[in-house]
Amino acid sequence: MTTRTIRARDRPVFGVDVHSGDVRGDDPSYALVILDPVDEDDPDAPDADGPMARVTRDVVSFRKLCRLIDDREPLYVATDNAYELAADKNELVGFLRSLPDGTRLVQVTGAERPEPLSRVASRHGIPYGKEPMKEAEASARLAAANVGHEVTAFTDETRVKVSRGRSTGKGGWSQDRYTRRIHGNVRKRTRQVQSKLKEANLDFERDVTEKYGGYANATFTVEARPEDIPVSNSRAGDVRVEVERERRDGIEYEPLVQRRDRVIVGIDPGTTTAAAVVGLDGTVHALYSSRTADTADVTEWIIEQGRPIIVAADVEPMPETVEKFRRSFDAAGWRPTTDLPVDEKLHRTRETNYQNDHERDALAAALYAYDDHEDQFERIAAKTPPRLDREAVIAGVVAGGATVESVIAELSEDDGNGGGGGSGDGDADEADPTEPERTEEEETIRRLRERVDRLESHAESLEGDLAERDEKISELEGELEEAKREERIEARSRRAVSRLERETDRLERERDEAQERVAELEKKVETLKELWRLDHSNFDDVAADQGLASVKIVEQFTLDAIEAADEEYGLVAGDVVYLRDASGAGRRTAERLAETDPRAVIRDGNLSDVADQVLFDHDVPVVPADAVPVREVDELAVASEEAVAAALDDWERRAERRRKDEKQEHLDRIISEHRAGRTLPETEE
C-alpha cells in the first residue's frame, strides 16, 4: 500500500443534497453528511463494517459548505446531481476550480444520463430514503465504495508557471543590477521546480523565455494532477509560482474505477456477426455488428463491455459458434425452447434503437435470457448480505453452478482473509519469539502467499469437479439427444395422426353437406315434375293452359341484375318481369329494361321518380307486387293471368288519368308562358 493510498483513506467523504431553496435562487441550504475514517486501533472508535464509520450530519449554507471543503479537504464531494451545486456550466467550472488539490466532485448516479439514486443505492446495497439527509448519506456511502463518476472540467495535465514576482521598474542608476537579480532568481526557482519534477518521476515539457540575466518566465506542462505534483502556488520575493490544471472544452464524467460488471450477452452468428450486452438489471449496455470481424474481435469487444455470466442465442439448438463463445467465457448458456418468432423479437426490442436485424436478434436473445433469470437474480440478491458484491454472488450461482450459501461463504472468507483482520490458522497467527518482528509489508506478503496456496488448492479441487461435471454433461447430452430423437419420432406420429383426423373431419362435413344438397334437389325435382317444365318455350304454353302467366325474376333493379337475367333465361318482348327490389334505379337502368318491351313489370318496393317516369314514357305498365301475387319455384315463377290482366286494366285507367293531368299541366304552362311574353313589352314601355 502506497503512502498516497493511506493518505486518501484517511480523508473524509462528503455527501451533499439540496435541503431547501433553489441553487438558482438565493441562499440554498444543503444536507451534508460527512463519513470520517475510523482508526481501527482507537479503542473509542465505533463498531463499523467498513473503513467509513463515524457519521456527521448537518444542514449548512453553500458558503459554509465551501469552507468545510477547504478546511477538511475531503477525498470526495458526492451528490446525485452535480448541478445541485451550480446554476450553470460556468458556475460548475468555478466550483471545480475552487476545490482543494485531491478533492473530487463525484456524481454517484452516472454520467450525462444519470440513473435514479434509489436504483443505484439498491443495486449496491446502500440504505436509501427520500429525505435530503438520507439521500446525502446514500451519495456519501456510494462514493466511499468507489461508485460513480468524477465530474471534471480539467485534463490530467497541469501547467506550472514560474515568473517574476515584481516589476523590473522604469529604470534608474541601479536598474540593470535589479533586473539581473530578478531574472536570476526566476532561473534559480525554475531549476528547483524542474529538479522536484524529476525526483517525482513526472513527465513534463518546459518552455523558457530567456531575458537579461536569466529567465523572465518558465512554463512546465506536467502529465499529472496538481495533487501529484510536489510544487504548490507560492510567491516569495522576486519569484511567483502558479499551478493550474489545463481546462477541457466542456464538462466530462470519468468513472472512479473502471468496472467490468457482470453482463448477459446475446449473439447472432452468420455472415454478419452481431452481439448485444445487457446488464443484470435488464439495462441495454451496447450493441455490435460486423461483416468482417472474426471471433477474436467479437471476444475482445465483449471483454471491454463486462464479464459475461450468460451467453444467449435466439434459436434452438444453440449454434456451435455461440457455444464456443459460451465455453470461452465459462458462462451459462440460454436458448429458447423453439426459435423466437420475428414478431416477438420486434415487440421485445421495440424500446431500443438497433442498426439491423442481426443486432435485433442478438438483443432479443439477451433480453429473453434476462426475463428467464430475473426472478432468480432477485432471489439471490435478497439473500446476499449488503457487504458482498451481489453481481459476484449471482455469477457464482448462475455461471458457476454453485448454491447461494456456498458462494456467500466463499466470498465472505475471501473478504476476511484479504482484509488483514480475518481469522486464520491459530498456530500461524501466534508469533514465534525466535523470529524477528515482521514489517507491515512482510506480513502482507505472508498473508498473500497463504491465500495463494489456499486458492491453488481450491483451484485444483474445482478442476476435479469440472472434469466430473464435463463427464456428467457428456452423459446427459447423450441422453438428451436420444430423448430428442424419440420426441421427434413421436411428434411426427402425432402430426400424421392429426392430419388424418383433420382429413376425416373434412370428408364427413362434405358428406353431410352433399346429403343435405341431395335432399333439397329431390324436393326441387318433385316441384319441377308438377310444373312439367321442359324448356322456356313450351312452359309459357303450359302456363297459359292453366291460366297462369310465366314471370321472369330480376333480383335488383340494376344494370348488372338485368344483364344477368337476360343471359340466364332471356328477356323478350311481352315478358312479365318481377323486380324483387325495385329501389335505386336511375334513367339508364330504366331505359335498359324498357328496351326489352315487357308486357308488365311487377315491382316489390318503390321506384325512383326518374325510373317511374322513363317506364311511363315508354308505356311500360308497372304494377305493385301485392296486386299480382307471384309464385316462385326455384328460378321459375308464375302468376295468375287473371290477376295480371286486372292489374294491367287498373294501370291503364291510372295511366290515362296521368296523361290527362300531364297534358293539362303542359297546356297551363304554355298559357302562362304566353301571358308572360305579352306582359313583358308593356312593362318595358
DSSP string, 502-524: HHHHHHHHHHHHHHHHHHHHHHH
Give residue 683's pLDDT. 45
How many helices and strands (H and E) does the chain possess? 19, 21
Task: Give the per-residue pLDDT at 414.
Answer: 57
> Looking at residue 204, what is its pLDDT?
87
Distance of CA 215 to the CA centre of its chain: 62
3-state secondary structure at position 118 = helix
Q: For residue 267, is pLDDT > 90?
A: yes
Which pLDDT band holds residue 9 (cuts at 50, 70, 90)?
Answer: low
Residue 594 has pLDDT above 80, yes or no: yes
User: CA dist 466 to 29, 328, 413, 614, Å?
Assistant: 59, 14, 22, 99
Q: What is the pLDDT of residue 334?
A: 94
Give residue 231's pLDDT: 86
What is the chain's mean pLDDT, rounded?
82
Answer yes or no: are the C-beta atoms of 279 and 285 closer than 8 Å.
yes
Contact 266/367 with Cβ under 8 angstroms?
yes
Neighbours of 456 (CB within 10 A): 10
pLDDT at 305 over 60: yes
pLDDT tens, 325-349? 998 888 899 999 999 999 999 999 9
One fold for 3-147 and 262-397: yes
Lowest mean pLDDT among 128-137, 361-370, 424-433: 424-433
- pLDDT(287) > 60: yes
Rounded CA separation 309/23 (Å): 43
Quickly state the pLDDT bin for 102 (edges 50, 70, 90): confident
pLDDT in tens, 620-658: 999 998 888 888 765 678 888 888 888 888 989 988 898
Distance CA 439, CA 436 (A): 9
User: With 90 as the cut, is the pLDDT of residue 361 above it?
Assistant: yes
**pLDDT at position 362 over 90:** yes
Most confident of 43-57, 254-268, 575-589: 575-589
Phi, psi (deg, nearest 5) at residue 205: -125, 145
**What is the pLDDT, as a whole number, of residue 530?**
58
Q: CA 453 to CA 526: how far, in whole Å?
A: 106
Q: Return the pLDDT at 5.
A: 34
Rounded CA-CA distance 624/568 in Å is 24
One-character DSSP codes across 313-335: -SSSSPPHHHHHHHHHHT-EEE-
Identify the pLDDT of residue 20: 86
| Percentage of the chain modeled with pLDDT above 90 | 23
DSSP 422: S
Position 424 scores a pLDDT of 36
Q: How confident is the model at residue 357 (pLDDT cuts 50, 70, 90)?
A: very high
Is the pLDDT at 269 greater than 60? The verdict is yes
H or E element, residue 163: strand 149-164
Indicate the class that CATH gives domain 157-255.
alpha beta
Query: What's at 622, amino acid-wise?
Result: V
Domain boundaries, the chain: 3-147, 157-255, 262-397, 440-531, 536-668
3-state SS, residue 52: strand
Question: How far is residue 27 CA from its own chain's centroid?
Answer: 41
pLDDT tens profile 437-468: 556 676 677 767 776 776 776 677 677 778 88
Percent of the chain's residues with pLDDT above 70: 84
pLDDT of residue 37: 80
- In angstroms, the CA 326 to CA 334 distance is 10
- How many residues are listed for the chain in this entry? 685
Whether the CB-CB separation of 260 and 307 falls below 8 Å is answered with: yes
CA torsion through residues 21, 23, 27, 28, sign: positive
pLDDT of residue 137: 93
- How many beta carbons lie within 10 A of that of residue 114, not counting itself? 17
Q: What number of CA atoms fall less than 13 Å from residue 355's CA on the CB side?
A: 10
Reply yes or no on whether the pLDDT at 313 is more than 90.
Answer: yes
Reading the block at residue 259, the C-alpha cell is 468496472
CA-CA distance, 270 to 310, in Å (whole number)?
20
Distances (CA, A) of 150 to 93, 146, 250, 561: 13, 10, 14, 84
Q: Which fold has domain 262-397?
A: Nucleotidyltransferase; domain 5 (3.30.420)
As a whole number of angstroms, the distance between CA 144 and CA 179 comes to 52
- More confident: 9 or 596: 596
Write out pLDDT tens, residues 127-184.
888 899 999 999 999 998 888 888 888 877 888 899 987 777 655 556 678 888 888 8
pLDDT at 228: 81
CA distance readout (Å), 260 to 264, 294, 306, 308, 596: 12, 23, 4, 10, 92
Handedness of CA 382, 385, 390, 395 (dihedral sign): negative
- Laid out side by side, the sheet with 548-554 consists of 622-624, 600-603, 576-579, 548-554, 636-640, 630-633
| pLDDT > 50? residue 428 | no
At 241 the three-state DSSP class reads strand
Please say if the pLDDT value at position 77 is more than 90. yes
User: Which of 96-100, 174-178, 320-324 is the least confident region?
Assistant: 174-178
Report the C-alpha gap between 605 and 594 in whole angstroms. Answer: 18
pLDDT value at position 545?
54
CATH no., domain 3-147: 3.30.420
Residue with cell 445487457: 278
State residue 373's pLDDT score. 92
